[in-house]
Amino acid sequence: MSEQVQQTAETGQKKKRILSGIQPTGTFTLGNYIGAVRNWGPLQDEYECFYFIADLHAITVAIEPAELRRKSLEAYAQLLACGIDLEKSLVFIQSQIPTHAQLSWVLNCSTQFGELSRMTQFKDKSAKHPDNINAGLFDYPVLMAADILIYNADLVPVGADQTQHLEIARTIARRFNQRYGETFKIPEGYIPPLGAKIMSLQEPTKKMSKSDTNPNAVILILDDKDTIIRKCKRAVTDSGSEVVYAEGKDGINNLLTIYSTVTGRTIEESVKEFEGQGYGTFKVAVGEAIADHLRPVREEYARLIADKAYLKECYTRCGTEALRQSSRLLSKVYRKVGFVQSEIR
């Protein structure tokens, strides 16, 4: 991150630090990419960005070890393929940085049972996995707080489902600071610039989601060109034939939104382009435009995932720096709570 340090020195202002973790749950959808992921690259020029693969959080639900390893590496490669520059950002794997779990235990002792029991995501996930309501599922907001606080993050990107977790992190930090003196920075929520909202190809009133059981409803960023075109051809539309953006034409509206986004055209320009043409021609054109737009991502991902040695070099280098930075704060925390200083290295 030498370039970033130089930029900071030249401007005389320290960049604010953004931290965000993603669970290794599979390939990003077109909706994930357009709505959020493709905006992460440009953030690097304005902020100091720390991204991590949240594999510790991933084991709160049952997952095969080999699958977790594979998905963690795939998620890492996808982040880099989508434009994260390791000269500007740190991208690391959570489980390789022991300070997260070490701080989490200390923060557990500054967290009230009642606070955790009120977390809505615990209730939701318990309902989805009634046969595996484990302590980690109950306690993972504290680990999430440790993820944030161990790096003194200024900003944390949050969606509607994460505001409660950020709030409990802020509460824990304040409580610790009040008891032991100023230690943690109180993080703020960050609402990132969002791209267009992409809907399901089969149920265009619903958001596109990788958990959709219908594979034709979702375009994945690593789908090949033929697959993307086939899914677009099968996209649900109304009984009309005119390509216009209008109320009641949810399917066509969704395809127009996608086409406009990946081509850089306005909706009006896209409508004019397909004036007098039927849905069939339009759907094929949408599929081709998506495939062409995603081709650099697919090609870069294929290169990265085939070079495991390079990926290892990247996450080891970033992890070493993440451990160095987080260890300084953990040492401060350990000293404040009264642990005997260790000389073990």
Q: Which residues are catalytic?
A: 125, 207, 210
* Side chain identity at residue 8, one-letter code: T
Q: How far apart are CA 270 and CA 282, in angstroms?
A: 10
* Residue owning tokens 């393929």: 81
Q: Are 217 and 236 in contact (CB under 8 A)?
A: no
Q: How far apart are CA 143 and CA 6, in angstroms?
A: 32
Q: What are phi and psi of 312, to 5 degrees?
A: -60, -40
Structure tokens at 197: 């909202």
Contacts of 268 (CB under 8 A, 6+ apart): none
Angle, helices 308-337 vs 279-305, to 10°: value is: 70
**Cα 175 to Cα 179, 208, 262, distances in angstroms:** 6, 39, 46
- Residues 40 and 43: their CA atoms lie apart, in Å, by 5
**How far is Cα 75 from Cα 82, in angstroms, rounded to an integer?**
11
